[in-house]
């Protein structure tokens, strides 16, 4: 089955939603949200969540909100909110007028806290952070009640209001929910609701010195927005009882259902914000959009299309078991998309000069070349051909192995769209390095075929030397040299697995002249090599291309299996 024919299967979330709709829950409404914390750049794992949330909303004629979970000012920044919005839009999703910030609810969150205090379900605690931890107990032992647990509502109200008013130093008091210090679920052992922190917030500035915790903020934000299905990752499963506790004990408009799914892991890369941040901070990569990273910004710069990423998100499915998806699937999605739409061009990465000895000196002729065999509507272009050309170094071998269809002494190959050429002589320098090939062409083979039906197996790409453009090409490869560092030696830091060959810069590559007008972001297939896009560092005088993904290379496989024999 071709991927474009793929119809979304039922995953467990769709199953839940359809059951809810059938049961008439929420009046049949589906309303989701994507709630990033603006403390880093979005990555492909977030893309899975974005596609899920926005996709489900679209599928069931509902809505999906974009909401920034910005309750921890110390880590958050507008740089991140801007990048997140740009990335979600680029992926092709639209939150219309439903852009929210948890910080917009600070006043309501505060009122709800007052409500909990009045109903005796929250109290101000003056234990130190260290004491709170000690009182919490352990995984196997119950916690101990805080001595502040039985403070009167009046006193709690007074203290909490004074917390807000800034009368107490940072960390001196917290507001806690009064639930059960003996609960086997640590999240229910009187979790902290508010902490005092004199930090400037990227939106509310210095208006507040107390900030609500995620666990308290999230369910209320969902309810205030009328969210029906609050989809999050597995590690929040343990938090669900508290999510429900908050909503059950507060006069909120509705009670959304929290549903947890497994986050995406991808082989040969890292996905945690901490690790990504570390790579960027330590300059192990060149910024958040370094094309080796799995961030959305990096994938965009690398040449990925939103379509490829969305298709990928659909293909990987949604489930609750933790898994590591093969990077090959992501690459497959890009190839599949670009195969249909990328213009084919010729580029020689490592040039080997070829002189066509029987071609008239000074003559230049123009050949027709199709732009995309998958899409006749893409039209054709003209290609200059002349006496001096470049072909790829690896397309010539002095000692051709078995099944090597390319050029070697005395052998004939086809130059794509041009002529058959035969290699007559190999020219070397004093060190024995091949510097030039002297070949002859068959004038009868113009266009790449002859009437005699002669079989020519090999077809190489080439460029005409005089008209070629000199460009820089950046060859990207896997970030890590192992598929799953977590499955390796646990003592080792992930940085020890960084692939030293993840970036190879190749200068003085030769590309056909039609590329002169290429603009940053333009995508092409370099014939027989891969898909490339013009990098943001590129300029008309100094073109720079990124390799997005290679083409499948069956010769490489054959050669590899020959060598292993």
Partner RNA sequence: UGGGGUGUGGCCAAGCGGUAAGGCAUCGGCCUUUGGAGCCGAGAUUCGUAGGUUCGAAUCCUACCGCCCCAGCCA
* Segment 416 to 435, residues that bind RNA, using CB under 7 A: 416-417
Q: Which of 85, 144, 153, 186 binds RNA (CB under 7 A)?
A: 186
Catalytic residue (one of 33, 37, 310, 387)? 37
Segment (H or E) for 464: strand 462-464
Size of the site for RNA (CB under 7 A): 95
Residues in 108-147 at the binding interface with RNA, rule: CB under 7 A:
127-129, 132-133, 136, 138-140
- C-alpha span between 177 and 164 (Å, rounded): 17
Residues in 264-283 at the binding interface with RNA, rule: CB under 7 A:
267
Q: Which of 295, 459, 538, 546 binds RNA (CB under 7 A)?
A: 459
Selected range binding RNA among 41-49, 472-480, 532-540, 554-562, rule: CB under 7 A = 554-562
- The CA-atom distances, in angstroms, between 213 and each of 71, 198, 414, 483 are 7, 15, 67, 36
- The CA-atom distances, in angstroms, between 334 and each of 337, 528, 531 are 5, 16, 9
Looking at the Cβ atoms of 86 and 132, the one nearer to RNA is 132
Selected range binding RNA among 155-163, 242-250, 351-359, 456-464, rule: CB under 7 A = 456-464
Segment (H or E) for 130: helix 129-136
Looking at the Cβ atoms of 149 and 286, the one nearer to RNA is 149
Smallest separation, CB 306 to RNA (Å)? 18
Q: Which of 292, 335, 411, 547 binds RNA (CB under 7 A)?
A: 335
Looking at the Cβ atoms of 107 and 361, the one nearer to RNA is 107
337's torsion region: left (phi>0), alpha (psi -120 to 50) or beta?
Answer: alpha
Looking at the Cβ atoms of 92 and 448, the one nearer to RNA is 448
Catalytic residue (one of 195, 273, 310, 406)? 273
Looking at the Cβ atoms of 91 and 196, the one nearer to RNA is 196
Looking at the Cβ atoms of 136 and 203, the one nearer to RNA is 136
- C-alpha span between 523 and 525 (Å, rounded): 7
Helices within 183-305 (DSSP H only):
214-224, 240-248, 273-281, 296-302
Selected range binding RNA among 68-76, 222-230, 278-286, 513-521, rule: CB under 7 A = 68-76
Residues in 284-323 at the binding interface with RNA, rule: CB under 7 A:
315-323
Smallest separation, CB 405 to RNA (Å)? 4
For 157-182, letters b (16+ CB in 10 Å) and e give bebbeebbeeebeeeebbbbbbbebe
Smallest separation, CB 121 to RNA (Å)? 18
- C-alpha span between 442 and 447 (Å, rounded): 11
Q: Which of 2, 23, 283, 505 binds RNA (CB under 7 A)?
A: 2
Looking at the Cβ atoms of 290 and 347, the one nearer to RNA is 347
Q: Is residue 98 a contact point for RNA (CB under 7 A)? A: no
Q: Is residue 69 a contact point for RNA (CB under 7 A)? A: yes
Looking at the Cβ atoms of 324 and 426, the one nearer to RNA is 324
| Phi (first) and psi of residue 197, to 5 degrees | -150, 115
Segment (H or E) for 50: helix 44-59
Looking at the Cβ atoms of 234 and 501, the one nearer to RNA is 234
Residues in 14-53 at the binding interface with RNA, rule: CB under 7 A:
15, 35, 37
Partners of 550 in the β-ladder = 530
Residues in 203-262 at the binding interface with RNA, rule: CB under 7 A:
211, 213-215, 234-239, 262
Residue 22: CB atoms within 10 Å: 9
- The CA-atom distances, in angstroms, between 105 and each of 69, 112, 124, 349 are 11, 10, 21, 56
Q: Which of 65, 103, 121, 187 binds RNA (CB under 7 A)?
A: 187
**Residue 340 falls in the annotated catalytic set:** no
Extract the tokens encoding 448: 């790449």
Give me the half-sphere count of Cα atoms (radius 13 Å) on the Cβ side of residue 232. Answer: 23
- C-alpha span between 273 and 72 (Å, rounded): 16
Smallest separation, CB 273 to RNA (Å)? 9
Smallest separation, CB 57 to RNA (Å)? 19
Q: Which of 77, 278, 326, 488 binds RNA (CB under 7 A)?
A: 326
Smallest separation, CB 242 to RNA (Å)? 10
174: nearest Cα among 141, 131, 223: 131
Q: Which of 32, 49, 72, 295 binds RNA (CB under 7 A)?
A: 72
- C-alpha span between 396 and 423 (Å, rounded): 9
- C-alpha span between 181 and 135 (Å, rounded): 8
Q: Is residue 200 a contact point for RNA (CB under 7 A)? A: no
- C-alpha span between 143 and 380 (Å, rounded): 75
Smallest separation, CB 199 to RNA (Å)? 10
Looking at the Cβ atoms of 274 and 362, the one nearer to RNA is 274
Q: Is residue 414 a contact point for RNA (CB under 7 A)? A: yes
The DSSP symbol for 314 reads H
Helices within 303-396 (DSSP H only):
306-316, 327-341
- C-alpha span between 49 and 304 (Å, rounded): 18
Smallest separation, CB 493 to RNA (Å)? 16
Q: Is residue 551 a contact point for RNA (CB under 7 A)? A: yes
Extract the tokens encoding 51: 């596609």
**Residue 37 falls in the annotated catalytic set:** yes
Residues in 147-166 at the binding interface with RNA, rule: CB under 7 A:
none
Q: Which of 77, 155, 244, 374 binds RNA (CB under 7 A)?
A: 374
Smallest separation, CB 498 to RNA (Å)? 21
Residues in 343-362 at the binding interface with RNA, rule: CB under 7 A:
344
- C-alpha span between 268 and 477 (Å, rounded): 10
Q: Is residue 177 a contact point for RNA (CB under 7 A)? A: no
Q: Is residue 557 a contact point for RNA (CB under 7 A)? A: yes
Catalytic residue (one of 98, 263, 341, 397)? 263
Residues in 478-537 at the binding interface with RNA, rule: CB under 7 A:
525, 527-528
- C-alpha span between 206 and 378 (Å, rounded): 57
Angle at 75 between CA 269 and CA 495, to 5 degrees: 25
- Helices vs strands, H then E, count in the chain: 13, 25
Residue 380: CB atoms within 10 Å: 13
Catalytic residues: 37, 263, 273
């Amino acid at each position: 089955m071709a991927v474009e024919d793929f119809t979304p299967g039922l995953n467990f979330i769709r199953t839940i939603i359809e059951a809810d709709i059938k049961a008439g829950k929420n009046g049949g409404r589906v309303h989701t949200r994507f709630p990033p914390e603006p403390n880093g750049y979005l990555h492909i794992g977030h893309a899975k969540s974005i596609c899920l949330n926005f996709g489900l909303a679209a599928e069931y004629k509902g809505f999906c909100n974009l909401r920034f979970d910005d309750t921890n000012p110390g880590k958050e920044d507008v740089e991140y909110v801007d990048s997140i919005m740009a990335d979600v839009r680029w992926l092709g999703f639209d939150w219309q007028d439903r852009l929210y910030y948890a910080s917009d609810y600070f006043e309501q969150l505060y009122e709800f806290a007052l409500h909990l205090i009045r109903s005796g379900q929250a109290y101000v605690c003056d234990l130190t952070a260290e004491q709170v931890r000690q009182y919490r107990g352990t995984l196997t032992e119950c916690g101990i009640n805080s001595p502040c647990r039985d403070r009167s509502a009046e006193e709690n109200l007074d203290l909490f209001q004074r917390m807000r008013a800034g009368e107490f130093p940072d960390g001196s008091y917290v507001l806690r929910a009064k639930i059960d210090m003996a609960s086997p679920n640590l999240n229910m052992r009187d979790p902290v609701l508010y902490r005092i922190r004199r930090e400037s917030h990227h939106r509310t500035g210095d208006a507040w010195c107390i900030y609500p915790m995620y666990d308290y903020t999230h369910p209320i934000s969902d309810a205030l927005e009328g969210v029906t299905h609050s989809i999050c990752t597995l590690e929040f499963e343990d938090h669900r009882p508290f999510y429900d506790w908050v909503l059950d004990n507060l006069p909120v408009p509705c009670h959304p259902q929290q549903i947890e799914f497994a986050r995406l892991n991808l082989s040969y890369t890292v996905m945690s914000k901490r690790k990504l941040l570390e790579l960027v901070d330590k300059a192990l990569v060149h910024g958040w959009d370094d094309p080796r990273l799995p961030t959305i910004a990096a994938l965009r710069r690398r040449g990925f299309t939103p379509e490829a990423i969305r298709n990928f998100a659909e293909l990987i499915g949604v489930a609750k078991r933790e898994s590591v998806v093969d990077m090959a699937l992501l690459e497959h999605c890009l190839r599949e998309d670009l195969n249909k739409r990328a213009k084919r061009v010729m580029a020689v990465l490592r040039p080997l000069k070829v002189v066509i000895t029987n071609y008239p000196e000074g003559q230049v002729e123009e050949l027709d070349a199709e732009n995309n065999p998958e899409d006749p509507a893409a039209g054709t272009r003209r290609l200059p051909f002349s006496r001096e050309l470049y072909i790829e170094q690896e397309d010539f071998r002095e000692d051709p192995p078995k099944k090597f269809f390319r050029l070697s002494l005395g052998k004939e190959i086809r130059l794509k769209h041009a002529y058959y050429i035969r290699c007559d002589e190999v020219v070397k320098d004093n060190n024995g390095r091949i510097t030039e090939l002297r070949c002859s062409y068959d004038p009868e083979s113009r266009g790449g075929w002859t009437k005699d039906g002669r079989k020519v197996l090999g077809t190489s790409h080439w460029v005409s030397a005089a008209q070629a453009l000199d460009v820089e090409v950046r060859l990207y490869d896997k970030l890590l040299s192992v598929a799953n560092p977590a499955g390796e030696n646990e003592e080792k830091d992930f940085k020890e697995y960084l692939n030293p060959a993840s970036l190879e810069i190749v200068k003085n590559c030769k590309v056909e002249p039609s590329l002169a007008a290429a603009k940053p972001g333009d995508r092409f297939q370099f014939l027989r090599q891969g898909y490339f896009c013009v990098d943001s560092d590129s300029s008309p005088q100094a073109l720079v291309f990124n390799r997005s993904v290679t083409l499948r290379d069956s010769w490489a496989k054959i050669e590899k299996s020959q060598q292993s024999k």
